């Protein structure tokens, strides 16, 4: 049974997606299932349509994307999947809703460390998992992730839930670099340096720093851009103004980054148009548009970052392949529970 145009229009608030039984959809269309909010990708959609004449219909879901495509089965109208976080991309692959794509254009634009070796997902932009630090109380201009377990930070660190995908990605990178035994000890040290139990989101960590509740926190780079430019809530601009970004491990292996990415849906009825859309998204033009919208870094080497992102300072990304991080996410999650990170400091 297929969703009607009316239902899709309600879900989208945009262009409806119509499915037909077993047949490809109308020529000149591509259907995008997205975890990213419509306003963030609309400029990309508009630019693609202007360049190619192909209409891109976007279905936004805040959860259950893999389950939905699985339930739709072979008659799913999904052509392209857009999402954030290596965990969700791997979830889509492991959930059997993607298909491999070998494409010279895309592989040329997207470095190997940011794509699946089997071609089932591709990164588009990166966000650094950095340290937010108080401009007033933290004189340091450099830091490492390893240093976060140093007792000198005791009672000075705040963070969001240790099991959140952003943190699990970072912790998985620590496992990949140092092994599980080291990471367990490191997480214990991090826990004992917390000012409070993990709570809130990345933005609220910046708020806590301004309020003097902690001096440093973990956060994604793009949230700083969102706070700096938030005209609806001037208070967030104050939180951003009170903090500075430190790029961990800039002097050695580089800062951990995660990605937003894309995948070709398993049963894409408009496969040719889907590939054209993915080729467009991998291009420098599209990555610059995308990065400008979401305050992230294009994966294409040499692509321009937005002025806001440039103001954060230069990032040196960790070259660790994201598949290595994904392979250690389960271990990282288990270690978070083992050390009781979310219980907060114990001494």
3-state DSSP assignment of residue 221: helix
Q: Where does residue 63 rank: exposed (0-12), middle (13-18), buried (19+ CB within 10 A)? A: exposed
pLDDT in tens, 245-286: 999 999 999 999 999 999 999 999 999 999 999 999 999 999
Q: Binding site: which residues?
A: 222-223
Q: Of 320, 317, 159, 132, which is closest to residue 228 (Cα–Cα)?
A: 132
Phi, psi torsion values for 58, nearest 5 degrees: -115, 125
Helix 202-210 to helix 221-228 angle, to the nearest 10 degrees?
70
- Note the CATH architecture for domain 126-255+315-343: 3-Layer(aba) Sandwich (3.40)
Using an 8 Å Cβ cutoff, are 25 and 72 in contact?
Answer: no
Report the C-alpha dihedral over residues 171, 175, 177, 178, rounded to 10 degrees: 120
The domain segmentation of the chain, as residue ranges, is: 5-124+259-303, 126-255+315-343
Using an 8 Å Cβ cutoff, are 261 and 42 in contact?
Answer: no
Entry field: residues in the chain: 347
Specify the pTM.
0.87
Given this chain, do its domains 5-124+259-303 and 126-255+315-343 carry the same CATH topology?
yes
Using an 8 Å Cβ cutoff, are 174 and 184 in contact?
Answer: no
pLDDT at 52: 94
Which H/E stretch holds residue 84? strand 80-84
pLDDT at 38: 83
- Which residues, other chains included, contact 321 with Cβ-Cβ below 8 Å and sequence gap of 6+? 112, 113
pLDDT at 27: 57
pLDDT at 341: 98
Q: How many CA atoms lie within 13 A of 229 on its CB side?
A: 14
Q: Binding site for Fe cation: which residues?
A: 222-223
- Note the CATH architecture for domain 5-124+259-303: 3-Layer(aba) Sandwich (3.40)
Regions of the chain short of the pLDDT cut 50: 1-26
- What Å distances lie between residue 41 and 8, 60, 78, 155, 223, CA to CA? 18, 10, 16, 40, 17
């Amino acid at each position: 049974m297929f969703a009607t145009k009316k239902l899709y229009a309600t879900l989208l608030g945009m262009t409806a997606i119509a499915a037909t039984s077993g047949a490809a959809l109308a020529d000149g269309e591509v259907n995008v299932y997205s975890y990213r909010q419509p306003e963030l990708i609309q400029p990309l959609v508009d630019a693609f349509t202007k360049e190619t004449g192909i209409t891109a219909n976007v279905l936004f879901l805040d959860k259950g994307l893999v389950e939905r495509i699985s339930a739709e089965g072979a008659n799913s109208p999904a052509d392209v999947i857009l999402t954030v976080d290596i965990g969700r991309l791997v979830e889509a692959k492991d959930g059997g809703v993607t298909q491999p794509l070998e494409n010279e254009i895309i592989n040329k634009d997207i470095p190997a460390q940011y794509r699946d070796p089997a071609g089932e997902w591709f990164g588009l932009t990166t966000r650094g998992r950095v340290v937010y630090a108080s401009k007033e109380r933290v004189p340091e201009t450099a830091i490492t992730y390893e240093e976060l377990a140093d007792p000198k930070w005791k009672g000075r660190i705040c963070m969001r839930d240790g099991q959140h995908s952003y943190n699990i990605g970072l912790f998985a990178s620590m496992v990949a670099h140092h092994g599980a035994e080291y990471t367990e000890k490191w997480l214990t040290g991090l826990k004992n340096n917390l000012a409070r139990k993990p709570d809130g989101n990345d933005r609220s960590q910046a708020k806590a720093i301004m309020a003097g509740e902690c001096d440093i926190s973990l956060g994604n780079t793009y949230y700083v851009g969102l706070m700096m430019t938030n005209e609806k809530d001037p208070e967030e601009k104050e939180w951003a103004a009170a903090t500075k970004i430190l790029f961990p491990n800039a002097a050695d292996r580089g800062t951990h980054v995660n990605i937003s990415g894309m995948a070709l849906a398993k049963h894409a009825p408009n496969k040719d148009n889907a590939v054209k859309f993915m080729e467009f998204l991998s291009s420098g033009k599209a990555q610059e548009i995308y990065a400008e919208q979401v305050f992230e870094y294009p994966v294409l080497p040499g692509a321009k970052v937005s002025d806001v992102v440039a103001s954060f300072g230069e990032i040196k990304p960790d070259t660790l392949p994201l598949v290595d991080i994904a392979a250690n996410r389960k271990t990282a999650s288990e270690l978070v529970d083992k050390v009781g990170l979310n219980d907060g400091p114990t001494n």
